[in-house]
Structure 1
Amino acid sequence: MGKHIRIVVIDDEALSRDELIHLLKRYKDIHIAAEADSGEKGLEKIITEEPDVIFVDIEMGDMSGLELVSAIQKIKKPPLVIFATAYPDYAAKAFRYQALDYLLKPFDEEQLEDTMERIHQELTKKTLTPTFKEPTIGKLAVEDEGKIVYLIPEEIIYFYREERETIVCTKDKSYRMKTSLKELEQKLVSFSFFRTHKSYFVNLNSVKELIPWFNGAYQIKLFGSTEEIPVSRNYVKALREHLEL
């Protein structure tokens, strides 16, 4: 994205607030627009700062995080909501409030990284202006034994990252390339591919089954492949929204 992502952190526990802000500041495109130690003050900061994203605790003294999120739905451009809490029991209710994600304390850096990736994806979608596109006929070029092979994107089942290479998997063969998954996301934006994990990028038309795994994560089975592909818990909700009628 071309600009900084403005964030407001709302938590009545100072240590938790400080820890989360410290972790967020590691990301170069993040700007902490404000912080608040209560729901009411948080609401004021949201109105004055107009952040892109809020990280909000659920259990707070005066106004709970759920009450706060309910209140901001009435404003013209509500921010993306990430609940950050010590209580896992609120997860189902939180997503009914259209939260983008749900982080548990103490914060796990890998889970936060997944959350940041989802934030980037969501904000990028919001900035794209819908326009009519001619049908895409481009093919993906890969090298194979000194030759350049052109793959039709619809025939690719999935991609995964292995050390410094990306593996392209079709029904019949696998290919290696240097292109990162992030670059592939941009190249294949007009095709039915979806990031299920930081290391996996899947053709949604190949998805056969979604199988519960552990700790809120899933695995998927794909037509044309015997591999079971991991789905990080942070991607499950968005994956189902893309797949299901």
Structure 2
Amino acid sequence: MPQTIRTLIVDDERYNRDELHFLLSQHECIDIIGEAETGEACIVKAIQLQPDLVFLDIEMPIMNGMKAADSLKELRKVPFIVFATAHPQFAAEAFRYEAIDYLLKPYDEEQLQQTISRIQQRLIADSPQVPVPTGKLPVEADGDIYYLDPADILYIYRDDKLSRIVSKKGRFEVKTPLKELEVRLVPFSFFRIHKSYLVNLRCVTRLSPWFNGAFQLEVEGQKEQLSVSRNYVKELKKRLEL
């Protein structure tokens, strides 16, 4: 089963907490275990609940997000920290606290997805005792059930309420949402390059600049060029390169 990410939301404004709670609830890998409205309450709940991840507002009265992050670093179990603020000028200082990401309000869903994918990969990398997954993806075709080895899947895209799978063994379609497939396939080196596309990084052969910061990507044996959203380009390059 995919590892769930125990998540604590910290923000002094109820509307912002509700918005982030809603967006995170769309991701099956996220388990929201609590909320806090002050830096002090954040520390208390982090000690009690031991979250894997804390979404932390910066501008809060008395103890701001920076001070709270500094205290979180002293815990026995140090959570991943994602700073969230409406003010971009705090970014440089925020990363001194070893934050895994920095998100601006109002939240961009693609950037949030990219952040969650990065945290999933870090959790996998930090858990060497977890065995290498060996499962296969079941798909139906003409009444039969085929079991696809993830290594044979080139990419998957969402189209007309179906997830269409392009593999070395042929093309298939399933009703399973792309988000659910992503959770299953992240341990097998899959990465979302666009809100509608999931690609096997082991099969990528070429990345070309397109326009407005976006790129196009090619995979083994396929003529189609896949669009890479500019929000995913930086992380994609990092994941592809040694």
Q: Under TM normalisation by the shorter chain, which class is it?
A: 0.5 to 0.7
**Alignment correspondent of 1:104:** 104
Deviations 1:33-89 (A, max 9, x none): 24132x344223322332232221123344442343243223222223222210134
Q: Secondary structure at the match of 2:46?
A: helix
The one-letter amino acid paired with 1:158 is: Y
Indicate whether 1:36 and 2:52 are aligned. no
Asked if structure 2 preserves the Cα contact closer than 8 Å seen for 1:165 and 1:176, the reply is: no
Asked if structure 2 preserves the Cα contact closer than 8 Å seen for 1:161 and 1:167, the reply is: yes
- Partner Cα distance (1:22, 1:150) in 2: 34
**Alignment correspondent of 1:10:** 10
**Alignment correspondent of 1:114:** 113
- Partner Cα distance (1:21, 1:141) in 2: 32
How many residue pairs align between the two structures? Answer: 236
Where does the alignment leave 5 or more consecutive residues of structure 2 unmatched? none
* Larger displacement relative to structure 2 (43-52 or 205-214): 205-214
Instruction: Within 5 Å, give how 1:1-245 maps onto structure 2.
Output: 6-17=6-17, 19-21=19-21, 30-37=31-38, 39-91=39-91, 94=94, 97-107=97-107, 110-111=109-110, 114=113, 118=117, 121=120, 125=124, 129-131=129-131, 143=141, 154=151, 156-169=153-166, 175-178=171-174, 180=176, 181=178, 184-185=181-182, 191-205=188-202, 206-209=204-207, 211=209, 218-223=214-219, 224-231=222-229, 233=231, 235=232, 238-245=235-242
- Partner Cα distance (2:43, 2:210) in 1: 37
Asked if structure 2 preserves the Cα contact closer than 8 Å seen for 1:36 and 1:45, the reply is: no
Q: Secondary structure at the match of 1:78?
A: coil
* Larger displacement relative to structure 2 (150-159 or 202-211): 150-159
- Partner Cα distance (1:27, 1:168) in 2: 21
Moved over 6 A (4+): 1-4, 25-29, 136-142, 146-152
Tell me by how many angstroms 1:91 deviates: 4.2
* Larger displacement relative to structure 2 (178-187 or 97-106): 178-187
Where does the alignment leave 5 or more consecutive residues of structure 1 unmatched? none
- Partner Cα distance (1:226, 1:3) in 2: 33
Structure 2 length normalisation: TM-score?
A: 0.67
Q: Structure 1 117/163 Cα, relative in aligned 2: closer, same or farther at 3 Å?
A: farther
- Partner Cα distance (2:107, 2:155) in 1: 30
Percent identity, aligned pairs only, is 37
- Partner Cα distance (2:114, 2:8) in 1: 15
Q: Structure 1 68/219 Cα, relative in aligned 2: closer, same or farther at 3 Å?
A: farther
RMSD between aligned residues:
4.6
